[in-house]
Chains A and B, each alone.
Chain A
Amino acid sequence: MSPNPPSPAVDVSGLVKRYGATVAVNGLDLVQQRGTVLALLGPNGAGKTSTVEICEGFRSADAGTVRVLGLDPATDGDRLRPRVGVMPQGGGAYPGVHAAEMLGVVASCAADPHDPAWLLDVLGLTSAARTPYKRLSGGQQQRLSLACALVGRPELVFLDEPTAGMDPQARRLVWDIVRALRADGVTVLLTTHLMDEAEALADHVVIVDGGRVVASGTPRELTAGDPDDQQLRFRARPGLDTRLLTSALPEGLVVREPSPGGYLVQGLIDPQVVSTVTSWCAQQGVLAEEMQVAKRSLEDVFLELTGRELR
C-alpha cells in the first residue's frame, strides 16, 4: 500500500525526563519494530514507567523525540489513542465499579471491541464480574487492567509490569496472551524487573538503569557473552586437587572450588572438556554429579553491567 516501509512502532531518541532535581530518564534511545515484543528490563526507579508514560502521552518529555506509530503522543494523542492499548501500573477503575461494568465502559470507546464477556472468561474473571473493583484481589485487578488494554483490538499495547502481584498460573496466562498477540501481529512493549519474563517473551530486551540504556539486544545476544568465557559446574567430594585437573585440561581452562564440593571450570567448554572432566574424576574414584554448562542469564548480564542485583 504505502511505498515507504512503515515507521517503527516505537521510536525514542535522546529522551530526558526530570522530576525536580531527580533525573528519571537520562538520554534514552529505543527503537521497536512493528509486530515485535520488546521488554524494558530494569530495577525499580530505572525510568521504565516514565518512559512508557511519555510514549502513552501521559507525561511530557523534557528533551528528546518520541514517535509512536509515527505520531507524537504529546500532540497527536487523539489520533494515537484509538490504536493503542494501555495497561497502566497498578491498574485503574472506579472504586465501586463492577469488573464487567468497567470493561464495558472501556469497550464502548472502541469501534470493534472484543466481546467483554469472552475477555473476562479468558482472564478468569467471570466469577468476579459483579465484584466491586476495590474488593478484587491485586491479581484480579491486574487481569482486569489487561482486559481493558486488549478490549479495543489495539495494534500496539503498552504493558507496565503486567504480571506484578499475579500468581504463577495467571502469570503463565499473561505470557500465553503476549505470545498470541505477537503471533497475530500486535506490537507489545512491556516493562518488567523479572529476567525470566523478558527472556521468555521478548524479541528484543532493553536493559535500563539510572534512566539510561545499559544494554540492548535479543535475549540470545545479551546472554551469549564471550564464547571463551563459559562455565562448567559440577559437584564432587570436597578437596580434589584442582591444579591436577587444570593440567589435564586444554590450555586456557581454569578449575576452581568456590564452595566445598562445588567445582567450576571456566574457559571454552566443548564436549571434549566435559568428557575429560568426567574421566579424570573417575580416575580419582569420585563421581562428578550435577554437571551443567552454565548459560549466562539476563540477571548475570545486569550484574556485570551495573554491579548491582536487579532486585
Chain B
Amino acid sequence: MTTGAPVAEAARFAPGTFAPAPGRGRLGRMLLTQARTETLLTLRNGEQLLVTLIIPLALLVALCVMHVVPVPEPRAGSATARVFALAVLSSAFTGQAIALGFDRRYGVLKRLAATALPRWLLVAGRLTAALAVVAVQIVVLSVAAILLGWDVPLSGVPWTLLLLLLGTLSFGALGVLLGGSLRAEIVLALANVVWFLLVMIGGVALGVDSLPSWLATVVNLLPSAALAEGLHSAVVDGTAPGPGPVVVLLVWGAAAAALATRTTRLS
C-alpha cells in the first residue's frame, strides 16, 4: 500500500532525528576501533592466515625436524630466528601490501579519509594492527618453537622485541610503498614474488653463509637477511644485534617511508 509522501515521511522519522550534532570522536577510541578491525580482518582471512601463520609454522617444523636445509646448532634456536624473520616479512610486508592494494580498490581509504579521522591516525591505525598481528604470530610461533626444543635465552628477549618492532616498521613501510601506488592485481603478484625471493635467497629459509659469496654480499644488505641475522644473535645467543643489521633495517625503512609518503594514493 502506498500513502502520500509526507505521511510516509512523518511516520518514518520523528522531527529532530537527524538534527546536526557533528564533532570528532576521541582519538584513542578511533585508533583502537580501526586497529582492532584491521587486525580481525587479517586474522579471519584464509589466505592471510596461510601466509602469516601456517607457512611459518610449517617452515619452523621443517627446519627443526627435517635435515634438508643446513641450519647451525642449536637447531631449534636458529630455526626460530629465521621463522620470526619470515613471520614479519609475511605479515608486515606481503600481507600489508596486498591488503592495502585491495583496500584502495574497494575505496576504504577514501571512505576513512572522508571521516573526522586525522590522516596521521589512519597510518597509526594500520601500524598498530600490523604490530598486533606480529604479536599474535610471535606468541604462536614461540609456543611451537619451545615445544620443538628452543631454549629461550632471557637476556635476548628485549633485543628480540626491539628487532621485531624495527622489522615490522621497516617491512611495513616497504609494504605500504608497494601496496599504496599500484593496481591491486599487480600488488598481489609482486608482493608474492618478492616474498618468495626473499624467503629463498634473502637469508630467511637459507642462511646467508649457505649462499655463494658474491650473492651473500648483496643479500647481506637486504632487510630480510638483516632481520634474520639480528634475530639470530638475540634468539640464539641472547645478545644484542651488531650495528650492521640495525643500520640496514633503518635505512630500508626510512627510504621506503619517505618514498611512500609521495607515492601512496587513496584509491
Binding site for B on A (CB under 8 A): 56, 58, 78, 81-84, 86, 88, 90-97, 101-102, 104-113, 133-134, 145, 148, 150, 152-155, 172, 175-177, 179-181, 183-186
A82-B24, A83-B22 known; A108-B30 Cβ under 8 A:
yes
Segment touching A, from B101-109, B185-193, B195-203, B253-261: B101-109
Query: For A183, what are the chain B residues with a Cβ–Cβ distance below 8 Å?
Result: 9, 15
Interface string of B201-242 (1 = CB under 8 A from A): 000000000000000000000000000000000000000000
Query: For A176, what are the chain B residues with a Cβ–Cβ distance below 8 Å?
Result: 5, 8-9, 12-13
A152-B22, A176-B5 known; A109-B107 Cβ under 8 A:
no
**Which of A88, A97, A153 is in CB contact (< 8 Å) with B114?**
A88
Contact B20 A108 (CB under 8 A): no
Segment touching A, from B33-41, B85-93, B170-178: B33-41
B183 within 8 A of A: no
B139 within 8 A of A: no
Contact A58 B22 (CB under 8 A): no
Contact B13 A105 (CB under 8 A): no
Contact A134 B106 (CB under 8 A): yes
Interface residues on B, range: 35 or more
Query: For A112, what are the chain B residues with a Cβ–Cβ distance below 8 Å?
Result: 21, 23
Measured CA separation A181–B19 after assembly (Å): 8
Which chain A residue shows the least CB distance to B42? A96
Query: For A154, what are the chain B residues with a Cβ–Cβ distance below 8 Å?
Result: 20, 22
**Which of A88, A150, A179 is in CB contact (< 8 Å) with B111?**
A88
A150-B18, A153-B18 known; A111-B25 Cβ under 8 A:
yes
A94-B37, A177-B13 known; A153-B22 Cβ under 8 A:
yes
Query: For B20, what are the chain A residues with a Cβ–Cβ distance below 8 Å?
Result: 83, 153-155, 184-186
Measured CA separation A108–B25 after assembly (Å): 6
Contact B33 A92 (CB under 8 A): no
Contact A106 B115 (CB under 8 A): yes
17 residue pairs bridging A and B, Cβ less than 8 Å apart: A82-B22, A93-B108, A94-B38, A94-B106, A101-B37, A102-B37, A108-B25, A109-B115, A109-B116, A111-B21, A111-B23, A176-B8, A176-B12, A180-B18, A184-B16, A184-B19, A186-B20
Which chain B residue shows the least CB distance to A153? B21
Contact A106 B111 (CB under 8 A): yes
Chain B nearest CB from A159 CB (Å) reads 12
Contact A108 B34 (CB under 8 A): yes
Interface string of B108-140 (1 = CB under 8 A from A): 111111111110000000000000000000000
Which chain A residue shows the least CB distance to B114? A86
Interface residues of B in 38-61 (CB under 8 A from A): 38, 40-41, 44-45
Query: For A185, what are the chain B residues with a Cβ–Cβ distance below 8 Å?
Result: 19-20
Chain A nearest CB from B164 CB (Å) reads 25
A-B contacts counted at CB < 8 A amount to 142
Contact A184 B18 (CB under 8 A): yes
Contact A93 B111 (CB under 8 A): yes
- With a 10 A CB-CB cut-off, give which of B9, B18, B34, B266 has the most chain A CB atoms: B18
Measured CA separation A106–B229 after assembly (Å): 42
Measured CA separation A197–B44 after assembly (Å): 41
Contact A94 B41 (CB under 8 A): yes
A94-B41, A94-B106 known; A82-B12 Cβ under 8 A:
no
Contact A94 B103 (CB under 8 A): yes
Measured CA separation A106–B33 after assembly (Å): 9
B262 within 8 A of A: no
Chain B nearest CB from A85 CB (Å) reads 8
Query: For A105, what are the chain B residues with a Cβ–Cβ distance below 8 Å?
Result: 33-34, 37, 112
Interface string of B142-176 (1 = CB under 8 A from A): 00000000000000000000000000000000000
Which chain B residue shows the least CB distance to A150? B18
B67 within 8 A of A: no
Query: For B5, what are the chain A residues with a Cβ–Cβ distance below 8 Å?
Result: 175-176, 179
Contact B41 A96 (CB under 8 A): yes
Query: For B17, what are the chain A residues with a Cβ–Cβ distance below 8 Å?
Result: 180, 184
Contact B22 A91 (CB under 8 A): no
Which chain B residue shows the least CB distance to A80? B116
Chain B nearest CB from A66 CB (Å) reads 16
Query: For B41, what are the chain A residues with a Cβ–Cβ distance below 8 Å?
Result: 94, 96-97
Measured CA separation A61–B14 after assembly (Å): 39
Chain B nearest CB from A24 CB (Å) reads 16
Which chain B residue shows the least CB distance to A86? B114
A86-B114, A176-B13 known; A91-B18 Cβ under 8 A:
no
Contact A110 B37 (CB under 8 A): no
A110-B22, A111-B25, A154-B20 known; A90-B107 Cβ under 8 A:
yes
Measured CA separation A113–B111 after assembly (Å): 16
> Known contacts A88-B110, A96-B41; can you find 17 more A-B pairs with CB under 8 A?
A58-B113, A86-B114, A93-B107, A95-B103, A97-B41, A104-B33, A105-B34, A109-B117, A110-B25, A152-B23, A153-B19, A154-B20, A172-B8, A176-B12, A181-B18, A184-B20, A186-B20
